[in-house]
Amino acid sequence: MYSLRRERDGAGDSGNMSMLFWVEDDRVLHENNSKPRVGVVVRVGSVIARTMQQQDYWTTTYVTEIIEESDNYVKFKTGNSIYEWRRI
């Protein structure tokens, strides 16, 4: 399980998916069950649809800086936000 929360308002999601996306040679690549790193977009949530009343996942913009990191925790900046990612 993973958790992703935006620092300023607590928005985000949690679930069994932590997926990274990036573009390389005009192709969108992805990596499953991974922790945030500079140059990727982070998506955390559910790999299957939940209900129409609940979001399925939360996606950030590109990670620009890692502020703090340990085995199961990463605090990072995107273009306009600071997030905390956890493996729980």
Q: Token digits for 53?
A: 């009343």
By CB atoms closer than 10 A (0-12, 13-18, 19+), residue 85 is: buried
The pTM of the full predicted model, rounded to 2 decimals, is 0.90
Tell me, what's the pLDDT at 7? 98
User: What is the domain partition of the chain in residue ranges?
Assistant: 2-47+55-87
Cα–Cα distance, 79 to 21 (Å, whole number): 16
* Tens of pLDDT, residue by residue, the chain (88 residues): 999 999 999 999 999 999 999 999 999 999 999 999 999 999 999 866 555 556 688 999 999 999 999 999 999 999 999 999 999 9
